[in-house]
Structure formats: structure tokens, C-alpha cells
Structure 1
Amino acid sequence: MAPSDPTTGAGVLLAFLKPTSTGGNEAQPDDKLALLSTAIAGNVLGIKTATQYKAANTAYDKQHLFVCETEDLARVNVKQMLKFLNGENVGGEWDVRAYSEVQIFGPEKSGGMSARHISYLK
């Protein structure tokens, strides 16, 4: 069976944030980040939910990850998402990537994604 078009259908956007130095005040970016998931879901067209994760290893340069679910990747504009994130002034460099849903393993939980940990292999 041929794969479906990867730019349509369900998927996720992964938004990685590499924080920049805040001049010794490390709490301020986390305060802004605490509200960012709600802002993404409410302001970026096509995003159904957004969940924030923080790196388990403090040595990672990209310390924050936002997993944004969509029911149709065709409705989400990655450039618009990046423009929105840069406008939020959280102090850092964003790396946004879109992934189409291929297969779900295990029982589906109500309320969307049920992952507690995400492994990112480089």
C-alpha cells in the first residue's frame, strides 16, 4: 500500500526552544513558558492541543519542547507558527518541525496523547 500524503491528515508539530542567557535571571523565561501552551492552542490555526516538556538532561541545548497536535497538517502553517513563537519574546531560538501521523500503538487514551516521556534521537 502506498503511503498517504504526509502534508495532510493528523500529525504533530514539535517546537524546540534553545534558551538564550537572561543575564542571571533564569526564572523569567519559565514564567512566560508556563502560559505558552495555552497561547499556542488558542492562536495558531489548526493546533488542537499543545503540551510543554522540559529536557530531563540539563546538558541538552534545546531545553524546552512543545508538542502541538493537529487533526490536519494542511491547516497548519509552520512559518506562521514560528512567527507567533518569535513574537512571544521568551528569549531563545526556535526550531519547529511537522510530522505526520503514521501509526498508533497500544490503547488510545481519551483526551489525546498519553506520553509522559519523549525520546529524541539525533
Structure 2
Amino acid sequence: MPALKSLSKLGMPSLPVREDEHGVLRVADTRIPLETVLLEFRSGKPPEAIVEQFPALKLEDVYVVVAYYLTNRSTMDAYLRQVEQEAQQTSELIESRFHNAALLQSQRQSKQSR
């Protein structure tokens, strides 16, 4: 039997992840972020439950993503930490702007009442 020269000849799927125009990694052709699937899996949900929760996903895509995660756990955990850190920074920025806007509004009202 001749040796296979590439995994594609075995029909091995490629990672069903794409980067959108904002740099967000999304699963297949859905709008579901990669980190959403990974966090659901890490919280103990099996791929079938993830697909039930997010019907836009295909079960085979979730299995491929989970297999990739399990094979590359340290890299993917670092990715998840980075995404979490970016989300925290964005949240803090929004909160500071909201707080500053509320403070300015309060100061304006105080000046107007004088």
C-alpha cells in the first residue's frame, strides 16, 4: 500500500475557524467566537450540548475545534487568557467613560442649579 503524502488524502478536516474583519476568530461560517465554544467545553459541556445551545454550529466543526484545543491546550489557554484580558480592558474603558460622562453630567446639573 503506497504511503499517503498528506492528511488531506485521508479527508482530515482543517480547523473550521476564520478571522472576521474585526480580528475575531469565529467558528466556521457562524458569528460564534472561538472562545465561546472553548469556554463552554472547558466548563464541562460536551460538543452535543454546545451545538444545542448554539444551533448555528455544526457538530463536526465543534468536534474539530475541541480536538484542536485538546492537542494544543497550552497555546489555546494562552489565547483564552489574552481574549479575557482584552475583554477586561474594554470593560474598564467603557466603565471609565460612562463614569466620566455621569460625573460631567452631574457637574453640569450642579452648575445650572446655582
More helix by share: 2
Do Structure 1 and Structure 2 share a fold, with TM-score over 0.5?
no
Q: TM-score, normalised by structure 1?
A: 0.27
